[in-house]
Structure 1
């Protein structure tokens, strides 16, 4: 697993397998969030199987599928409180980890400056510099 720690409450990862769930539990994750739609590509693990493995290992499961390249403000509105209220730490995954990172960044930009959000992502090894205009828009919504 290629886990990128954004902060003490949230990490992101590319697609998990059923076997990865045991490792996530061993690492102390309390909630798994799937931001990838089921059947997005052939051979992708079924979300129901990952959800069952999460329950088996005592990890909360949240399925919030988001279309790649089409993250809406409604998606961000759903992600922010879900992460806030989830048992932590949270491991969110999608195909590459990018959707999860974008959801986090856009929701975080409502509280932190775009520069701060980009820097936090960069420290996790994630480049979201191209999001600065949309991050600024989110920031202005709350300030």
Structure 2
């Protein structure tokens, strides 16, 4: 499974297999965050089997399914809180890694850790288009 480093604690990835999840446990990953809704794609592991594989590997698990249009303030907050609270490395995944990085980028802009004008370049450096994060920020001004 190819992981894309985001910062010193978080990396994002595409859908892991059960074997990938087992390997994460042996690598010392503390938390796996699933940002995919069940049934999004044929052959997808799904949250139930993914939770079982994650727990068997000794990792904590957070099922936080979102789609681009359904990202909420609460999802951004829960994502950021879970990463911050994890006692070690975190891997977040969706179909390609884009939604997971989008959640992180929105939270980072809101927290002042990433400037809005740097979002696209930050994503491009990781091979991910974060235009959706900018659209979300435009549609949800901080209150």
Q: TM-score range by the shorter chain?
A: 0.7 to 0.9
Alignment deviations for residues 109-134 of structure 1 (CA, whole Å, 9 cap, x no partner): 11231134444333333232453354
- Shift of the 55–130 alpha-carbon distance from structure 1 to 2, 3 Å rule, reads closer
- After superposition, the CA RMSD in angstroms is 2.2
Q: Which stretch has the larger CA shift, 65-74 or 2-11?
A: 65-74
Q: Distance in 2 between matches of 1:130 and 1:62?
A: 23
Q: Which stretch has the larger CA shift, 1-10 or 18-27?
A: 18-27
Matches within 5 A, 1:1-143: 1-110=1-110, 111=112, 112-129=114-131, 131-132=133-134, 134-135=136-137, 141=142
- Shift of the 66–141 alpha-carbon distance from structure 1 to 2, 3 Å rule, reads same
In the superposition, the TM-score normalised over structure 1's length comes to 0.84
Q: Distance in 1 between matches of 2:84 and 2:11?
A: 13
Give the conservation status (yes or no) of the 8 Å contact 2:24–2:57.
Answer: no
Unaligned segments of structure 1, at least 5 residues: none
1:81 offset after TM fit, Å? 1.3
- Shift of the 134–86 alpha-carbon distance from structure 1 to 2, 3 Å rule, reads same
Q: Distance in 2 between matches of 1:27 and 1:118?
A: 30
Give the conservation status (yes or no) of the 8 Å contact 1:79–1:104.
Answer: yes
Secondary structure at the aligned position of 1:109 is classed as helix
Consecutive aligned runs of 4 or more in structure 1 exceeding 6 Å deviation: none
- Shift of the 61–124 alpha-carbon distance from structure 1 to 2, 3 Å rule, reads same
Secondary structure at the aligned position of 1:76 is classed as helix
Unaligned segments of structure 2, at least 5 residues: none
